[in-house]
Chain A
Amino acid sequence: MKFVGDRHLRKEDPRLLTGRGRYVADIALPGMLHAALLRSPHAHARIRRVDAARAREHPGVVDVVCFADLGSAARALPMVPPHAELRGHNFTLFAGDRARYVGEPVAAVVADSRYAAEDARELLEVEYEPLPSAQTLAAGAPPVHDDIPDNVAGRVTLARGDVEAALRAAPRVARLRLRIGRGGGQPMETRGLVADWNAALGQLTVWASSQVPHQIRQFIADLLDLAPHQVRVIAPDVGGGFGAKLIVYPEDVLIPFLARRLARPVRWIEDRLEHMLAATQEREQEHEVTVGFDDTGRLLALRDRFVHDTGAYTPRGLVVPLLTASMLTGPYRIAAVESSFESRYTHRVPVTPYRGAGQPQAVFVIERVLDQVARETGRDRAQVRLANLVRAEDMPWDTGLPNYRGSGHVVLDSGDLPSVLRRVLESARYDALAAEAAAARAQGRLVGVGVACYVELTGVGPFESARVRVDAAGRITAFSGATTQGQGLETTLAQIAADELGVTPEDVSVIAGDTAGVEHGTGSFASRAAVVGGSAVALAARDVIAKARLLAAKALECAPADLEQAGAAFADRRRPERRVTFAELARLAGAATAALGVEPGLESTRFFQPTDMTYSSGAHVALVELDALSACVRILGYWISHDSGRLINPLVVEGQIQGAVALGIGSALLEEITYDESGQLLAGSYMDYLLPTATDVPAMAIDHLETLSPLNPLGLKGVGESGALPVPAVLASAIEDAVGPAGGRVTRMPLGPARLLDLLPPAPLLG
């Protein structure tokens, strides 16, 4: 392969670097109106009346809409995916008679400018009857939905072996209680939409800052009673997603609804406060863990029971807690496991996956367990991990736990986990580092080393699509059902297509995230776009080149074996002066008769439907120092070894890992969405919710292994989320090492400054 594996510079960069990107807020259509949403100020309230009279009179206002105006669109959005144990409730476009979280949309004002729309929003009068709200995961909280008095959205137990017997038989047993708080994906571009209804065509065109344009199209078609061909959804340049743009939100259907109702283009751009209030969040769980092990630190039994906060609705069903539960054992061999959860409704913004999707919690839990086992057995933390890791000869390794889609077990398909760990220990000089940290501690400094391993579930189905086409002008275009929010898909898919077609990535245009490009598509999440989308592009491109060869042989009147390809043209090896270009072949195919023996068009649409998920793996080492007075954590060194199968573009992969680690640092040390006891958001701005800055994120050393996955044509595994998974775990490990036995134990993420202070060892008496 010529371009796959190359540190190819990105095709999207010249546009983005010069301000010529086209994000949704950059799209302005003639006659366009602007929407502003009024959101519930209460976590739980009965909505008695919405009075829009004053708002309607405000200059520039064109319309005011609330639940009562929705007509046949006053239905809940579908849930994806369904689950037998799910007692689900999804959003409606507006809160009806009840608001269930602060930030739930209640009404929309549409005006000729955003300034006018926001002014008029202040004039809306809503009569609320505030009600007590569920703000804890404890039993007995006020019900969020009347038909679910216990607030339980689902209860699932996954098990392998007889865990009770194994715990009884284990020479040693330890118990841990662990908590993880809420955070969010926080892309730098908020959500937003522009919708345009063309009455003459009966067609809606929607630009959405989204990871799932095909799903948005389906939801719009469902709720607005349109056929799919009447709706085109385009994800233009998207300024980051990280899961915050993974679900279909009420606004994704509401803005198209308004455009059709008013027969005018409508734009809505979420502001940052709205994003903090109403974009979905994740991670909040409370775990109770019991582990049985022997004197050598070998794990024998593991039981984890946890409670998961799902917020007010379940747009993504039980996906997040199922991922946590099913990925609990991660890279380790444990004979008896029970992993069970209760997902509970609260009067808070819904919980759906963000970068990592339940897996950072699983990694935090199992890695805390391993640190505890190492401490109790007096063994080195890295050695305890090596003793328990799945070995290369165990692959494929069946963990015995059903996967989150219920399509079989979590089966690690490939990899060499002990090698990954050994390599990171080597590049970090782990033993020397540990000795240096111990020496620093002996001098009173709070320096510590941490280590953590992980596997990440990637490349999920059901499918991804690709259409590769050579047009009559010779242009090569690869359309993909996957989308890109900064992951460089325009470049990596072009690299794949270029290799298959014998051209260069510069010859291939990639259009991802336009429902007009491919009829069916899934989108980008779960570290799947390169794996599943890339495989589909490879398959379609292989069809195209096979068809091109067939046509070229006919055109040149030679045997296929005599064809010689030079870029976008073929020649007859025996008569090299006779050439035929891709463009000529496309024209030939464009008028294909039955006699030609091919279907029209030099193109192919293919789907890749993975038979199973593929698992990336890795290990991180961190060196940290805590300030003895402020407990502020400085990360002095960070080392990564990882295996995400074949690298399409190492430059892009390194960028993905670095960005994911930065996000992990935020979720471990800085970022937490908090609410008061009445459900009011306490972190509504970037002054309260701290994203990592350039001074918080260290330089990292990255080492790649490439164990090819057997599950797809190129041996790919996903990488987008991997880097985020072990960061809370490795920092917990390092911080605990730094504060020493006299300091506190890390049982909670994130660790803000106040919690870090509690971990400091008692100050020595002043001499």
Chain B
Amino acid sequence: MTARPGSTAHDIAVIVNGAERRARVIPRMLLADVLREEWGLTGTHLGCEHGACGACTVLVDGEPTRSCLVFAVQADGCRVDTVEGLAGDGPGLHPLQEAFRARHALQCGFCTPGILMTLVAYLRRHPAPSETEIREALSGNLCRCTGYQHIVQAALDAAAAGRAAAASV
């Protein structure tokens, strides 16, 4: 029997949320599908599958990346961070997650993981953003529920908390 076209499998190894994961994938398998279907990390959501909504955003080697536009084989040997790893191993929430809860910055929660990952990367590089800068940083992530205002406030709160924590060290 001949193999299906494009069905030659590749072995990949990815550091996902700090732990190595392996999978055998066909070349066109999307990173999002491997995260969700092979590794059970269903916190990464697919909203449009054409790179426009941002719900599937994960960090690949620290860079916000749309996992619906990346093949899993491209992530071979990379570090991938998803929403499941954000809070670390403890029972608590990451400060950005805490701020989202306090500000009611999520409703249905479907876009939230992608927005959290986008903002985590952004705030790391921009610890003191203005409201306008936050809005621009968010403009690649669609949210249909909130109208963004509470998300912007949560991001500003998390940035302020991050600065306060850094100052007290």
Contacts and interface: CB of A to CB of B under 8 A. Distances in A.
Interface of A: 9-10, 12-14, 16-23, 25-26, 28, 59, 115, 185-190, 237-240, 242, 269, 271-272, 485-488, 651-652, 654-655, 658-663, 685-687, 691, 693-695, 697, 699-700
* 5 closest cross-chain pairs (CB), A and B: A19-B43, A486-B108, A239-B110, A16-B109, A658-B147
B113 A686 contact: no
B93 A14 contact: yes
Interface in B22-46: 26, 28-29, 36-37, 41-46
B60 interface: no
A488 B107 contact: yes
B37 A28 contact: yes
Given A20-B84, A186-B144, 6 more contacts: A18-B86, A115-B29, A188-B142, A655-B150, A694-B141, A694-B143
B39 to A, nearest CB: 12
Interface in B89-111: 93, 97, 100-102, 104, 106-111
A691 B49 contact: no
A188 B111 contact: yes
Contacts of B86: 18-19
B112 interface: yes
Contacts of B4: 59
A661 B147 contact: yes
Contact of B108 (A18, A238, A691): A238
A464 to B, nearest CB: 20
A730 to B, nearest CB: 15
B130 interface: no
Contact of B107 (A115, A272, A487): A487
B14 interface: no
9 contacts: A23-B42, A188-B142, A189-B45, A240-B107, A658-B148, A659-B144, A691-B142, A694-B143, A695-B139
> Most chain-A CB neighbours within 10 Å: which of B4, B41, B100, B136?
B4
A188 to B, nearest CB: 4
Contacts of B28: 115
> Most chain-B CB neighbours within 10 Å: which of A16, A238, A686, A695?
A16
Contacts of B139: 693-695
Nearest to A689: B52
B49 A240 contact: no
Contacts of B74: none
Given A188-B111, A240-B110, A19 B83 contact: yes
B52 A486 contact: no
B93 A272 contact: no
B109 A486 contact: yes
Interface string B104-145: 101111111100100000000000000100111011111111
Q: Is the interface of B mostly helix, strand, loop or mixed?
A: loop
A10 B147 contact: no
Interface size class of B (residues with CB under 8 A): 35 or more
Interface of B: 4, 26, 28-29, 36-37, 41-50, 52-53, 55, 82-84, 86-87, 93, 97, 100-102, 104, 106-113, 116, 131, 134-136, 138-152
A17 B152 contact: no
Contacts of A242: 144
Contacts of A20: 43, 84
A685 B42 CA distance: 24
Nearest to B116: A17
A693 B50 contact: no
A651 B41 CA distance: 30
A240 B108 contact: yes
Contacts of A269: 46
B150 A239 contact: no
Given A16-B109, A59-B4, A486-B108, A662 B147 contact: yes
A272 B110 CA distance: 14
Nearest to A239: B110
A185 B145 CA distance: 10
> Most chain-A CB neighbours within 10 Å: which of B45, B82, B86?
B45
A660 B108 CA distance: 14
Contacts of A187: 108, 110, 144
B151 A691 contact: no
A9 B45 contact: no
Contacts of A485: 108
A271 to B, nearest CB: 6
A21 B146 CA distance: 18
Contact of B146 (A13, A59, A659): A659
Contact of B49 (A26, A185, A188, A272): A272
